[in-house]
Amino acid sequence: MTSDGREPVIVPSNSHRNGQMTRYTNADFADDDSVNSVQLNEGISSSTTHIRYHAGTTVWKMRSPLEKVLLLLVGVLLFVIFILAIILHITEHRLRDTKFMIPFESNHQGPCLNSTCVHIANNILEAMDVTADPCEDFYAYSCNGWVKANPIPDAKTTWGTFMKLEQQNQLVVKRVLEQPIETLKSKAEQKAKMYYESCLDVNDTVETLGAQPMLDLLIKLGGWNITDSGFNITTWTLQNITQTIQNKFNIGGLFSYAVGEDDRNSTRHVLQIDQSGLTLPTRDNYLNKTKEHVKVLEAYKEYMTKVGILLGGEPNSTRKHMEDIVEFETKLANITTPNELRRDEEKLYNLMTIAELQEKAPFIDWRKFFENAMRLVNKKITSKEPVVVYAPEYLKNLTVLIKKYNQTDEGKIILNNYMVWQTVRVFTVCLSKAFRDAYKGLRTALMGSDGAEEPQWRYCIQDTNSVLGFAIGAIFVREVFHQDSKIQAEEMINNVRNAFKKNFKNLKWMDEDTRKVAIAKADAISDMIGYPEFVKDVNQLDERFENLSVRSDTYFQNNIQILFYNLRKNLEKINEPVNKTTWSMPPSTVNAYYTPTKNQMVFPAGILQSPFYEPSFPESLNYGGMGVVMGHELTHGFDDQGRQFDKFGNLNHWWKNKTIEKFKQRTKCVVDQYNKYQINGKNINGNQTLGENIADNGGLKAAYHAYLDLMKDKAEPQTLPGIPLNHRQLFFVAFAQVWCSTVTKEATNLQIEKDSHSPAQYRVIGALTNLKEFSQEFGCPIGSRMNPRNKCEVW
């Protein structure tokens, strides 16, 4: 989450594509660390010590030199034994009364005592809480220590392993971007530096210009009734304002559109339209009248009003106009379908021509709209052009809503105010501090922190990565990524894939024909590791950003240029073949993803680092960390949405109907399981998180069995010092500690409402309770919390 307002939570993003571009995490999770210490009491009074001292000195004088040497050696030996006894006492104290002391087969080599093993063991132990029972709460057992030692920083709303690694990556990039521009390797990297400097406002132009860039933009938009910017109701049309903000400034309004892979023919690009238009992150923020949601809605109105006044609006009239906008957005929320009900890809997919779309949703002239867009790339479009509509019912209801507002001048003013507001709110982050500060109250209401303590450079690195991510990726790969990691990751992926496929024979619910095509799909999943090759080629990298103009003293204009550049790049793909090797995520990102239409999983260089992966780590830790990430993305190809796409990436009915029914029965078990988990008095939405929960469960199982297969003919590795766990047990600790995290109450509540991922602790608990091998390793009795009698198994 960023400090200045450009946060995912206030950017409308209702496209079903967000469900497909499934991610391993939100990147905002936390860690934890505290092992109990103990005070040692020798139990000897000062008088006793005094007597012993004198007795010793009297006898000492009577000893021969040889006796004195021998006595000194005995004394040193006793002292060493004493110190070892203290160490053992501390260790036993830490481990007493816990399931931690689980016997395992030793290779009789003793623990590994080199510096790497000691360092790893120390980190693991510090994160644990060995007084917690691993069979009751494995997350607490693995992470309570980390949580106690890692409170959320003042500027953050969440804190955890992902974010800590992200901040380390930011430091690498910062060091390079702050070097002289002539030292950078490419024009693309130089553009990244200039954009970074414009964000930092090194020339003080942002503060000097104040509101002026936005005031100039309002005139180009045709004016805003809230300010004195030339709005004329007699010449205004919804068609014109929609084309202006969508096709000139690439900002969503009443709907979103893009050019993307056709779900049923993934070799071609096609126009796609989806529902959109809500500024706040969820429908509940508008429709649910609980105290929390009312607080957010009031903070939103206050934020809007402050921005309007900063742009010259009169306070009372500005507040009234903003309330009208919120009322309109509330009506949009009423006709917006919740994401949890948008998981059936076949029902979402509605292919029609532009002419057919015009009949269903005639609130604008669609052919005229798309002709206006395609002029940017010199391409023709006709009324017969195919378009995939993911929300036909929404567009139908939107037509009715727009018709009511379009009947009066007052209604038209509200529509224009709403459309212009969608543009204003996107660009306020590019204005002076007063505009950025206006957002703090809403951020606090939504997330529990106003982000005031976040250093501006961190926000600017993150911002630069979001707009010039592959230029940043070139820097990151050059500075820290090792080619060996790419090779070893490829081997790990293949091992996890083989374990995943091997398990198919154990799935009694799957018929033989479906099993064969499922294996074929698993084999066909391509994997992209580290970075796309073009980032290492200066000419290719420069060519990618050749048409993007960036200056170090025009942050507002830079953002306009970037939005327009991205729009053109997207529109250029219309009627062009699909390149299935393209990346959607910059190389420095601490994340991973799977794309169904490409049948491709991607693991950027940013996540191929400790604690997920480190060449010096034991394989148990690498497979518990990065191996599970790989298994997670692999399983997304077979979750409730991914399984609808065949090995070629096409939406296709390729399963037998009986197998589909049995699959749905098993997914219902997962929905019911996660529905019961509760945080802050709120239940997780099992439908909304189903795909990620299936991936968490399947990924954990595949990675664990890949590790067992890897070690099958090998001797048990040396244990880690001070940790009486075998490496099979350490695999599960490593998995859990990836998710150690602390989160504000507000951010947790928002995650439950909006996110497709379950909260961190239940990503650990939910997956482990369904894996019988975990309970076997830790000796958890049947009926304990971590070993329930009834388990859910899909893959």
Active site residues: 633, 696
Report DSSP letters for 127-173, one per residue: H--TTS-TTT-HHHHHHHHHHHH-PPPTT-SEEEHHHHHHHHHHHHH
Distance of CA 466 to the CA centre of its chain: 14
Nearest to 688 by CA among 712, 704, 671, 701: 671
- Give every CB contact of residue 668 below 8 A, 6+ residues apart in sequence: none
> How far is 693 from 640, CA to CA, in rounded Å?
10
Q: State the Cα–Cα distance between residues 229 and 216, nearest whole angstrom.
A: 8
Identify the burial level of 167 via C-beta atoms within 10 angstroms of its C-beta, where 0-12 means exposed, 13-18 middle and 19 or more buried.
middle
- DSSP H/E element including 682: strand 682-683
How far is CA 502 from each of CA 153, 241, 623, 626, rounded to the nearest angstrom?
44, 56, 17, 20
Cβ-based neighbours of 769, under 8 Å, separated by 6 or more: 785, 786, 787, 788, 791
Residue (of 582, 592, 586, 584) closest to 692 by Cα position: 592
If DSSP states are collapsed to H, E and C, what string results for 531-562? CCHHHHCHHHHHHHCCCCCCCCCCHHHHHHHH
Stretch (H or E) spanning 678:
strand 678-679
Longest dimension (CA), the chain: 117
- Strand locations in 313-461 (E): 351-353, 386-389
The tokens of 54 are what? 């004198």
| Cα–Cα distance list, 780 to 44, 674, 775, 783, 791 (Å) | 43, 21, 5, 9, 14
How many whole angstroms separate alpha carbon 261 and alpha carbon 597? 7
* Angle CA 100–104–105, to nearest 5: 165
Rounded distance, CA 593 to CA 695, Å?
11
Q: Please say whether the beta carbons of 581 and 528 come within 8 A.
A: yes
Backbone dihedral angles phi then psi of residue 262, each to the nearest 5 degrees: -70, 125
Nearest partner of 192 among 430, 475, 567, judged by Cα? 475
Cα-trace Rg, the chain: 30
